[in-house]
Amino acid sequence: MNYQLKILAIAIIKSKTMDSIDKLLAQLKAEYEEPKPTQQQPPDFVKPAQQPSQPDMVKPIIISQPKSRSIIDNILAEVKADVEAQAAAEELRRQQELEQERLRQEKIKAQQLAALGKQAKEWLEKLDPFSPEGLWFERFAEGYPSKLEAAIEYLQSNQ
């Protein structure tokens, strides 16, 4: 909503500036295009003693285009800064959400690993080392630092 107001303000400033510029240009054009009375000018070598001073001509008005442009540029820069700040805030929020999701997934994995570790411990307690499964597991566990880690791996692969 704030951006819409700024854009509307820019449009109003532009239209008012352009309207006033158009009016001034039309006024100047009308003054210079008025039919001039066709008086014969005396030759240059015949000059009256004192020529009447020329009526004050309208000096060209320099419209401060840069000023109105700078106002518009300032508003546009402000809008751009707001949009960039909003985009940066959105990106930060998105990154935070991703980090939270990653932490949540790690927590779930750790809980699953803890539950699997408990299950593996119980399985090892029930395992008869002289049964065919127990003998097989003894050979399987030789490649692991501990029997618990071997049991966790074994149970994970069987799930």
Tokens, residue 99: 């980090």
Q: 116 vs 105, 108, 122, 123, 147, CA distance in Å? A: 16, 12, 10, 10, 14
Residue 37 counted as domain residue: no
* Cα atoms found within 13 Å of the Cα of residue 99, Cβ hemisphere only: 6
The pLDDT tens digits for 80-110 are 999 999 999 999 999 999 999 999 999 999 9
Residue 155 counted as domain residue: no
Residue 142 counted as domain residue: no
**Reported pTM:** 0.45
What is the residue range of 85's domain? Answer: 1-18+63-102
- What's the total number of domains in the chain? 1
Residue 6 counted as domain residue: yes
- Segment 113-119 shows an average pLDDT of 93
In whole angstroms, give the CA distance from residue 1 to residue 92.
22
Tokens, residue 153: 């791996």
Q: Which of the four pLDDT bands, split at 50, 70 and 90, describes residue 132?
A: very high
